Structure formats: C-alpha cells, structure tokens
Amino acid sequence: MALVLHSGSGNKNAFKALIAAEYTGVKVELTKNFEMGVSNKTPEFLKMNPLGKIPVLETPDGAVFESNAIARYVARLKDNNSLCGSSLIEYAHIEQWIDFSATEVDANIGRWLYPRLGFVPHVPVHEEHAIASLKRSLGALNTHLASNTYLVGHSVTLADIVMTCNLYFGFVRILTKSFTSEFPHVERYLWTMVNQPNFKKVIGEVKQAESVPPVQKKAAAPKEPKAKEVKKEAPKEAPKPKVEAPEEEEAPKPKPKNALDLLPPSKMILDEWKRLYSNTKTNFREIAIKGFWDMYDPEGYSLWFCNYKYNDENTVSFVTMNKVGGFLQRMDLCRKYAFGKMLVIGSTPPFKVKGLWLFRGQDIPKFVMDEVYDMELYEWTKVDLSDEAQKERVNAMIEDQEPFEGEELLDAKCFK
C-alpha cells in the first residue's frame, strides 16, 4: 500500500516528506479534503498522534509523526540514494544542518512571525531578540553557502530539503527582499532549490513577501446582548422606571504625536539642509559644509558617530555593502527627523563600517532604538563639538573625504 500523509496541501512541513519521495521514488499520497481543526480531531487521527498535530504519515507498520522524522523515514525507504549521504561524516553533517534548520532558522522565523499573526502575544523586545537571533543564524548559513552550492556534499540531501522548506516558509510570509538582501548566498541557495524540478513539483511557484505582516490588534470583546425586557404591570400612580441608554463605545483616540514633534521649534530646517547637500556638486566644503554649520542648531539637534561592533565579520565587500543598505532601509521610519552618512572603509577585508547621524533632539530617538534592530549592532557616541578633531571628522564624513582616517573608501551611502 502507498504511504498516506495526513496534512493540508500547503503545509511546509508536509513538503519535506513529499519532496523526499520525489527523489527516492517512494509513493506517498496526500489525504484529500483534509480540514484542519476537523480532520485532526477525529478519534482515528488522535490514535495516530494524540496531540492532533500535522503532518502524520500512515505506514503499514504504524504511524509516524514529527515532520523531520517522517522525511527521514521516506528518505531511507530506498537504498542507494544520496539524500542521507555516502559516509558517516556526511550523515552527521546532514543531521547537523537539519537540527540547525529547526532550532536556529525555523524557530526564529516563528518567534518573529507568529506574534504578528496573533497566535501568541506580541512583545516588541521579544521580536527584536528573535530578529537578531535570526540574523545571526542566516549570517552563519550565508558564510557556509558562500563556498558551497549544497549544505553537504555536491548534490541535494535531506538537509537541503528540510532547510529549503523552512526558508521557503519565511520567504513567503515575512522575510522581505530588504531583509534577505544582507544574505545573498542564502537568497541564491533558496531560489536554486525551489526551482529544482522535484521541489517545484511539490511547492509550485514561490513569491517572496513584499512586506512584514502588521501586528494583529486584539479583537474587541463582543458586546453582551441586551436582556429582553419583560413588561410588568405597574400601578398607574407609580412613575415609569428610567431605562439607561447603553454606554457608547469610546471613540478611537487620535494617534499620539511623535515626541519629537512636541519639541520646541528649531531654527534648523532639516529639509533645507538635505536640499543643500543634494544640490551641491562643486566646492562642497565652501558651500555645503559651511551651510551645514550655519544651519546647525545644537539645542534642537544632536550629532552621533556610530561604529559597527562586528567589523571582523565584514570579509565580503558586497555583503558588507548590502548590510549597510538594509540598515538604511529600516531607518526609513525616521526620515523626517534624521540625516545620516554611512561609510564602508578599506581596500581589503575585513571592511570597517562607520557612520555619522544627525537626529532631532538631544538623544537617539527612542522609537528608532525600539524598532530598528540594527541599532544594537553599532556603538553610538555623541559628537562633542567643543573638540575640533571631532568636528573635522564630521566634515570629512559628510564630504566622503578620501582617504578617510588613512584608508580608502569602498562605499559611501547617504540617508536623507
């Protein structure tokens, strides 16, 4: 008899076994008309998996649950296939990447996505931790894939099947291009895998998410139905009881103003500085730099240097530049209140990433620190304008002066 896989048709965990079956030639049938919340609550299903979770594989020898275990079972049903490796060390490395995919990639995608979908409470600090953890994991994977087409060996293994299914889920639900561009080798790997015939037959066309899902607001509690009044005869002389009108719902509160909009007016008009910067093509020092200091309001604005904490990791030039580009995209939420310069420094790796930022107010805006997870990857130092050396460093960074601090500039980006 054919193996029967109990799951919905679009479940990424079911895809693992179905793709493995395409490679091994094992016949696996997906149950028809499976309805989550109904089919998985029947006594027959609960006998196979008491938790009622999917997928479950029905075999002649009994049921198997947990998607990675099911995929392993399907992969090993046929001898002489490469999915499980050709040596003990390859087998160990395949298991290593399967575990990495589950605990470092899939788990962190879930910790970011599921609170936004309302499955668990959304806590911003937990989300920041999940994103930072996911970035570290994808960074490690990106480094490995920089010199490897597949995770193990020179052909598709079960590790690639499991990793691709987990990455696919993230790519289509929450990992936008602006996020994944920092990991070009992971991108190349994912698109290579999902376009393999055996993958494509199961997964179909893949379209990357265009935006991060918004946090789902809690649904308003349903109103209590009004009790039906029972008319009672009352003495004619008795006054009629006063019926209280139901309390109206509180009108939605206006969106609170950004705290930076409540600061005292500043003589510096940020847009005027940005126009001056953009329009100055020659004599930059005499026009733009001088104009900046003429406009600058030290009471209404502050200047900050930033230095990337992990410059030793910046060993690939385009990856480093993509990292900075992604950071600037995520800073878009403060465009109204900030101007920035980011420099990638050095002619040979590791490359240094340093920046200069102008922020409204005397501190780095709290909403930026809360919402842009890259901020914690940099050391931030407030510029001391009484120090002429620091002031000249500001000038050099605005101007993209080269050499900068004795080194060539690989790239310079402006946030305006």
One digit per residue, the tens of pLDDT, for the chain of length 416 reads: 579 999 988 899 999 999 999 999 999 999 988 998 899 999 999 999 999 999 999 999 999 999 999 999 999 998 878 899 989 999 999 999 999 999 999 999 999 999 999 999 998 889 999 999 999 999 999 999 999 999 999 999 999 999 999 999 999 999 999 999 999 999 999 999 999 999 999 999 999 999 999 988 654 444 444 444 445 444 444 443 333 333 343 444 455 678 999 999 999 999 999 999 999 989 999 999 999 999 999 999 999 999 999 999 899 888 899 889 888 988 988 999 999 999 999 999 999 999 999 999 999 999 999 888 889 999 999 999 999 999 999 999 999 999 999 999 999 999 99
Q: What is the largest CA-CA distance in the chain?
A: 100
CA neighbor of 148 nearest in space, from 192, 195, 189: 189
What gap in Å lies between CA 341 and CA 256, rounded to an integer?
Answer: 30
The pLDDT value given to residue 218 = 55
Hey, what are 361's tokens? 């107010």
What gap in Å lies between CA 175 and CA 46, rounded to an integer?
Answer: 34
359 φ/ψ angles, rounded to the nearest 5 degrees:
-120, 145
What gap in Å lies between CA 98 and CA 42, rounded to an integer?
Answer: 31
What gap in Å lies between CA 314 and CA 307, rounded to an integer?
Answer: 13
The pLDDT value given to residue 1 = 59
137 φ/ψ angles, rounded to the nearest 5 degrees:
-65, -45
Torsion of CA 302, 308, 309, 310, to 10 degrees: 170
Hey, what are 275's tokens? 């126009």
The pLDDT value given to residue 250 = 41
The pLDDT value given to residue 9 = 86
CB 26 within 8 A of CB 75: no
CB 174 within 8 A of CB 213: yes
Neighbouring C-beta atoms of residue 191, cutoff 10 Å: 12
Hey, what are 347's tokens? 């002619």
What gap in Å lies between CA 407 and CA 350, rounded to an integer?
Answer: 12
CB 395 within 8 A of CB 388: no
Give the domains, in start order, of the chain with CATH numbers.
3-77 (3.40.30.10), 88-203 (1.20.1050.10), 266-415 (3.30.70.1010)
- Angle (CA) 248-250-251 rounded to 5° is 110
The pLDDT value given to residue 255 = 55
The pLDDT value given to residue 248 = 40
Task: State whether residue 29 is helix, strand or coil.
Answer: strand
CB 359 within 8 A of CB 301: yes
What gap in Å lies between CA 15 and CA 67, rounded to an integer?
Answer: 9
What gap in Å lies between CA 252 and CA 82, rounded to an integer?
Answer: 60
151 φ/ψ angles, rounded to the nearest 5 degrees:
-65, -40
CB 343 within 8 A of CB 409: yes
